Amino acid sequence: MGLLRKAAGAGGEPADRIPGGRAERQKRGPGLLGRTLTALKNKRLEPVPAAATADAAVPSSEALEPPRAAPITQLSIELAGADSVQISMPVRVEARPEEPAQAAPEAPPKAQATAVAPGKRSFDAVLEEILTAISTLRAGMELPSRMFTALTTLLGARKAAFLLYDPVRLVYAPWAVRGYDQTTLRRMRIPLGANEAWNALANGRPLILAAPALAQFQQFFSSREFSAMSRIVLVPFIADDTLIGVFLLTDLESPLTTDEELVECLARASEAGAPRVQEARAARVAAAVASGTRPEAVSAGDETSKFLDAIESSRSPLLLAALSLEEFTRGVLLSHHDLEPFRLHEDLVFFLGSFLADVGRALPVRQGRFVLALPGFDRAGLDVFSHQLSLFLHGLLGDGQAHDPTLAPRILKVTGWPAEGADLRTLVESLSAT
């Protein structure tokens, strides 16, 4: 028997009453070590990953690096009970694989810069609109003015003119205009070979002129217009190797980004438009001249005496008539907003001279008003004369549509010479004042 049991027996205490004896241990339950082992069995521990040990057996450069095994941490277990004991022991806990760090959301891609500046349009879009407008224009004498309206609108032109060649006066005169004062409209008669820039248009390419090259065009503008001018754009219209017209611009807000694009666009426009202008105007004027002869057109600046000298030489009785084309002129201008009235009057002078080539002569009095001298003409034929003249003018300037009777030429007053016994000059002056 051990010392403890002997001591207990000596003290008269039963063996199962000895503190810590079997009976007491059975009463109190398992001891500290047993309780610890039981707790450890119930505690779920994560196994050490096999990869960690496998890596250690493989010699490699990575083996020289600090081990990447799961970190050692302390496991604390608190045992409840009267003799509560807290045990700490090292336990290897498997580290979860690191999740890849999420990349920061990418910033939205920056808008790619376009070749078109703010407020501008692409070259292809502008050119397509211009070429479509030119190709869809109705044929007729009015086509140049309609083309001018289309070009100035699409190109943002505030001051521009379309100058067509006048074969009688040998100048390029405005047929359609926008924005210029009346003084400029009277001066804008540019002759053949006017200056070096004008001659350079024969190359067929548009020109953009700035100071000091502007000085060579000063005489064709009023002082007010020229002082506000910073550049001139000249666009030649060439057909059959002939410069038939010039599109002139001095103030525009171009929808295109660069002057190079503007020049190229205008070159393409003139290339497409020149044949149509030639067909519409030159062919019509040629057809208006009877028997292939060119009548001598009487300009607005001719004096009455020159007219009288011409009709007195006929030595035939004359029928004199005051003719009004004012209503017809208003109708044409309403259909062509950019058509220059004075240029229309000059063309009417030419066309009327063509119509009268084998019949008589016309004296322009003012815009839309004329005095006619018809040698050997019978008054009874004036109705037929007026009707034929109306058909002729509407065919040239009336869009090819049936003529409007309200816009027909009107005979205001008729007199005869020398049947009425008055002086010829007095009769002509009286009709001019009608």
Best mean pLDDT range from 230-239, 357-366, 375-384: 230-239
- Tell me, yes or no, whether 135 and 6 share the same domain: no
Whether this model's pTM surpasses 0.75: no
329 located within any domain:
yes
Compare 430 and 190 and report the one with higher pLDDT.
190
1 located within any domain:
yes
99 located within any domain:
no
Tens digit of each residue's pLDDT (9 = 90 or more) over 251-287: 999 999 999 999 999 999 999 999 999 887 765 566 5
- Tell me, yes or no, whether 425 and 284 share the same domain: no
Confidence band of 83 (pLDDT split at 50, 70, 90)? very low
Best mean pLDDT range from 166-175, 184-193, 392-401: 184-193
Structural domain harbouring 251: 123-288
**pLDDT of 47:** 52
> Which domain CATH number covers 401?
3.30.70.270
Domain count across the chain: 3
116 located within any domain:
no
66 located within any domain:
no
The yes-or-no verdict on residue 351 having pLDDT over 90 is: no
Best mean pLDDT range from 224-233, 356-365, 410-419: 224-233
37 located within any domain:
yes
Which of the listed residues 288, 307, 326 is the one where a domain comes to its end?
Answer: 288
85 located within any domain:
no
- Tell me, yes or no, whether 306 and 412 share the same domain: yes
- Tell me, yes or no, whether 270 and 302 share the same domain: no
Long-range pairs, 181-188, Cβ under 8 A, ≥24: 181/222, 181/224, 181/225, 183/222, 183/224, 183/225, 184/220, 184/221, 184/222, 184/225, 185/340, 185/342, 186/342, 187/219, 187/220, 187/221, 187/222, 188/161, 188/163, 188/220, 188/221
Confidence band of 113 (pLDDT split at 50, 70, 90)? very low
Confidence band of 101 (pLDDT split at 50, 70, 90)? low
Tens digit of each residue's pLDDT (9 = 90 or more) over 120-130: 889 999 999 99
**pLDDT of 100:** 52
**pLDDT of 285:** 62
* Residue range 50-63: mean pLDDT, rounded: 44
Which of the listed residues 288, 316, 338 is the one where a domain comes to its end?
Answer: 288
Which of the listed residues 266, 288, 310 is the one where a domain comes to its end?
Answer: 288
Confidence band of 39 (pLDDT split at 50, 70, 90)? low
Query: Hey, how many other C-beta atoms are within 10 angstroms of the C-beta on 313?
Result: 8
Query: Which range has the worst mean pLDDT, 64-78, 181-195, 407-421?
Result: 64-78
- Tell me, yes or no, whether 378 and 319 share the same domain: yes
Q: Report which secondary-structure segment, H or E, holds 165.
A: strand 157-166
- Tell me, yes or no, whether 205 and 304 share the same domain: no
Confidence band of 392 (pLDDT split at 50, 70, 90)? confident
The answer to whether residues 341 and 328 touch, using CB atoms and an 8 Å cutoff, is no
